[in-house]
Structure 1
Amino acid sequence: MEGRLQTGINVLDRKLDGGIPPGCIVAYTADPASQSELLLYELTAARGTLYVTTQRSDDAVRHAIDSSMARVGSPTVRHLDSDEPLSEATRLIGALPDGANLIIDPVDVLERTDRHEYVDFLNTLKDRMLETGSLAFLHCLKSDAEPENRPTTTHVADAVFDLRTTVGATELENFLTIPKYRRGGAPSETIKLELSERVEIDTSRDIA
């Protein structure tokens, strides 16, 4: 569809009528013990990307991307280690060029800040995405003790991509759903993914 930005991941672009409208914020929820980062790495191939890491070092993220067997780009990686993460994150996104990707991996550190300040940050982020025609991907790790501001993230986000990983007796399966998509046209079916060397549709068997 005209005017959309390709993610660079063929599986998603086909399902999303060519990509995601510029200016959108995507909350990408996944288990920590999954291959969710592979999808983030492949996003960097589509366009210039600012990859903000809040837990791993910038060197560790660069090494993981460079070592990936998937098609990846050469993102600018910055480690967010400030005592004032919202202020530092705001400073970083302020320098984002037009038509770029922003990845925050994971966003949990920011979600554990004061709610009103976090809401202000999300609104600033949205304004910046619209101003630059960029896309933001917030990696939201699932856990039994999720940050109190997680519902705020998913409410403000224009889209929610949810990755569910199940471990069976003989195989591991990954299912991606898009329960929220403000622009409309989201796939209603679950997408079964193969997350090994790159992101692909798993055609091993039909989804029950």
Structure 2
Amino acid sequence: DHDKQMVERWKGEADSALIFAGLFSAVIMVSFVESYKWLLSPDSADQTVELLTQISGQLPNHTNASVKSGPSVGPTAAVMVNLAWFSSMALCFSCSVGATLIQQWARRYLVLMQGPERVYLRPFMLNGVRKFQVERTIQLMGISLHSSILFYAVGVLKFILDINTMLGFTALGICLMLGLMYLIATFLPLFFFDCPYSTPWS
């Protein structure tokens, strides 16, 4: 019936999002752990100060004054990449939590609909589904997952651009082309109601 089809659709979307989020979070975690080392590596300015201090200590008539450097701060590129990947990881985890909650809601809904009070509960529960906009909540789960992919792509682009400019602009061109296709799929349903393409933003 209608209730079962609706709940099965919820569970299907939650299952797909949970599987993809689990795999994608593993990729993000590996990248984030590796990039976090950049922030812990000694700063080049500190290394220069330390080297100059050692050289001055070997010179005759040197003073005992030591050169102090500021706190070690990672390069701007490393901070930006880590920020993008951390945001991606946070959104991916929030999607996983949301998918798990949706599965629980679906099971609870089915249990309530199987009881003897089903005839009286069904209109009440359907009104609650519309009132609390469950469909919109499920849509937000997809939005958070797609936003997670976007943040990860931004971090990858920044990482590649700092390594090699030509390679970075090539990757940027590919990402812009894919982004344009995504925007087309997002806005087409707004102008053509029979368009089968859509995204969570549509």
Compute the TM-score of the two structures, normalised by the length of structure 2.
0.22
Compute the TM-score of the two structures, normalised by the length of structure 1.
0.22
Question: Which structure carries more helix by proportion?
Answer: 2
Question: Which structure carries more strand by proportion?
Answer: 1
Larger radius of gyration between Structure 1 and Structure 2: 2
